[in-house]
Amino acid sequence: MAYEQECLEREKNSKGKSSPSTDKAGAVSTGRSRKLGVDEIVSWCLDALKTTMLPIGYPKTVSDDYTEYTLWRMGQIIASQISGVLTTQALLYAVGLGKGAIPTAAAINWVLKDGIGYLSKIVLSKYGRHFDVHPKGWRLLSDLIEDGACGLELLTPTFPHLFVPLTAVAGAGKSAAGLIQAATRSCFYAGFATQNNFAEVIAKGEAQGMVSKSLGIALGIGISSKVGSSGPLLVLSFGTVTAVHVLCNLKSYQAVQLHTLNPYRTGLIMAEYLTTQRIPSVRDVNSVEPIFTVADFFSSKKAPVSTHLSISCESKCAAADIEKNLKLGVSFGEAVASRGAAQALLDLYSGEEYLLTYDDSHCFKVVLKKSASPHDMLRAVVQASYLRHIHNQQSLSKDELLKLSYQSMQQSFNELIQGLQAAGWSTSGLVARPGSNRLG
């Protein structure tokens, strides 16, 4: 009864509000409804944008470095598209479009420069395993190659008689850059997908790329219309956009936190573990690992204040030493110098799928058996780290050093794997590019 009375009172109140004297209030009410309508539209658009551009459950379903990488990546795509518009304009001027008519040979030249460019993809594809080991460095190198290729295309109006050679080299560079970018992209996305949502992260990345490309093309057309055929303005615009492109690329790769174990990262972790008995986090190691291991200028950004462990210079030197002097997949003949040494190695590593030794130049030589897996290669690198550490601490014979380092690896390996997993590292095995030699 109480509910029915309440309904009747609401009906009476609604009827009373329909009088002319309440037109002003009605207008106010209508204005409020319109305001609410605008808010709802904005909210709907934001939700639609989030659904289209970001993985479901963001940010809980991706890693912490996903957002920073994505923002910088979108910036570099925009810059890349602007460069593309400017260089396309230059190419069209070079073949005669800006002077009235395209020459008869222009179509043939265009096909030739693309055809030669495709060959670089075929040749470069056999180096795919290299991209897994240092994806950041290869990705940044591909971006630099792409910028260089755009620079060559920019020269075509100045040297129209060299159109085919310039565009062929530029096409080869762009094809090579495209292959490297596609190959390394999966390395980044695999780390972002923390909830087994790998396919969705890739799909959203493509959506983000399309939006960035659209913005870049629009900005490129606007800049191109202002620049026209002016050489100095074109060079200035291209130089500025290229600088932005490189900066965004560098920042985006510095933001990425790789969870896999390559020789450098494994050597760095082991060096810290052997001196402090602690395993550095993924962020700690990525913050000091150089993007190019041969050039510290492109090293990752400084470790954030929130890190719990600072990486020592000694550990960095140890990691660089391990990576430089580690030879995986050498032949058995290269690893041993005598029959006695060969039998000693076979006896020591009878229960392993690898054999580790070293020479007078402290080069770590790893012989892999036919059934050796990335997990076995990880064991070899861990032992190499022990070997290097013990060699610096004690004066032992070669046989004693190999035996002690192997025993140390055996005793601590399972505990080490548990610690790596607790710190967020992927312990499925070592990411490396071993030689093709196998024993057995």
- Cβ proximity of 195 and 131 under 8 Å: no
With pLDDT > 90 as the criterion, what percentage of the chain qualifies?
A: 39
pLDDT above 70: residue 194? yes
Average pLDDT of the chain is: 81
Determine the straight-line distance between the first and last CA of the chain, rounded to whole angstroms.
Answer: 91
By the 10 Å C-beta count (0-12 exposed, 13-18 middle, 19+ buried), 164 is classed as middle
Q: What is the pLDDT of residue 111?
A: 52
Worst-scoring range by mean pLDDT, 23-27, 234-238, 388-392? 23-27
Worst-scoring range by mean pLDDT, 205-209, 283-287, 295-299? 295-299
Q: What digits encode the pLDDT tens for the residues 243-270?
A: 999 999 999 998 999 999 999 999 999 9
pLDDT above 90: residue 427? yes
Provide the CB-side half-sphere exposure for 311 (13 A, CA).
Answer: 26
* Residue in 167, 146, 8 with CA at minimum distance from that of residue 79: 146
Task: Quickly count: other Cβ atoms within 10 Å of residue 212's Cβ.
Answer: 20
Q: What digits encode the pLDDT tens for the residues 409-421?
A: 999 999 999 999 9
pLDDT above 90: residue 383? yes
Nearest-angstrom CA–CA distance, 38 and 379 = 61
- At 128, list the tokens: 């795919």
Local confidence band at 33 (pLDDT 50, 70, 90 cut-offs): very low
Task: Quickly count: other Cβ atoms within 10 Å of residue 230's Cβ.
Answer: 11
- At 172, list the tokens: 């080869």
Q: Which fold has domain 66-255?
A: Growth Hormone; Chain: A; (1.20.1250)
With pLDDT > 70 as the criterion, what percentage of the chain qualifies?
A: 78
Q: What digits encode the pLDDT tens for the residues 317-351?
A: 999 999 999 999 999 999 998 888 899 999 999 99
Question: What angle in degrees, to the nearest 10, is found between the helix axes of 398-422 and 339-348?
Answer: 30
Q: Which residues contact 109 (CB under 8 A, 6 or more apart)?
A: 95, 163, 164, 167
Question: What is the average per-residue pLDDT within 168-179?
Answer: 86
pLDDT above 50: residue 8? no
By the 10 Å C-beta count (0-12 exposed, 13-18 middle, 19+ buried), 88 is classed as middle
Residue 96's region, left for phi above 0, alpha for psi from -120 to 50, else beta, is: left
Local confidence band at 102 (pLDDT 50, 70, 90 cut-offs): very low
Which alpha helices (DSSP H) does 193-228 contain, by range?
198-227
Q: What type of residue is 276?
A: T
Nearest-angstrom CA–CA distance, 101 and 191 = 51
Nearest-angstrom CA–CA distance, 34 and 24 = 15
The DSSP code for 355 is: E
**CA dihedral over 334, 337, 339, 342, signed as positive or negative:** negative
**CA dihedral over 369, 375, 379, 385, signed as positive or negative:** positive
Q: What digits encode the pLDDT tens for the residues 37-86?
A: 787 888 888 887 777 778 877 888 788 888 888 888 888 888 887 887 77
Where exactly are the structural domains of the chain?
66-255, 263-422
- At 305, list the tokens: 């204040």
